[in-house]
Structure 1
Amino acid sequence: MRAPLDPDMFDPVCPSDLSPIRVGDKWAGMIIRCLEQGPRRFSELRVPLRGITAKVLTRSLRALERDGLVRRTAHAGRAPRVDYELTPLGRSLLGPMDVACEWARRNWDDLLDAREAGAAPGRARD
């Protein structure tokens, strides 16, 4: 049996939120990280992704499945369940994501400064 996902896996002020390098939508990279150690159920994914609604998680999982990064497996039986897991293609993203996360960590202060400057009141928008 796999260990449960850490509810604090994603810090609300995580460098991944500042990274301009994204896979899919806002949540896709975090979903991929949640599936890194093996298949998970929908309810398990919601634990560390506490800011996501069920509707948005469903949409993100469907997009990842459509793109060939995640496999959805329905298990029949007395207690039917659905598991989500990374495909080999999805697993191949883990290395590039590690590089992007490390880049965000190294550039954290510059990213924060740029984000704050971009949010300054009265700044002209292009």
Structure 2
Amino acid sequence: MSKSLLYLSKIFTGLSLFAAFLLIPVVASQMSFGFGERSLLAVLPVLGMSLIYPVVRYFHQRADELQQQIHLRACLFAVCSGTSTLAMLGILQELDFIAGLSFLHAPVILLACWGLGLMLADRGHH
């Protein structure tokens, strides 16, 4: 398997797990669970999300210097553009121009910004 295919499979697997963790509370909210089941379904995604930083850090440290720099640029882009986007959405929401948004939209927006930042940071290296 080529390096780029392995790299893409790791990213796709990570994003799929992240999406699954986000979907657990959404699906659970549509069902009539008792307090115990809802508590368990609230804890599971939190435990999964708590592993994001150590896993990303592990893969970041194993990457070569160029890949590390590309990912750092993508993260910088995601922080700046994601924060701006979320702030603009918050302002529009406060002024009643758009309906209220769930906090579950924030990680999706940040991941989209990271993906865009990754494409922009990587474009000069191919």
Task: State the TM-score, normalizing by the size of structure 1.
Answer: 0.27
Greater RCO, 1 or 2 (C-alpha within 8 Å, sep 6+)? 1
Greater fraction of residues in strand = 1
Greater fraction of residues in helix = 2
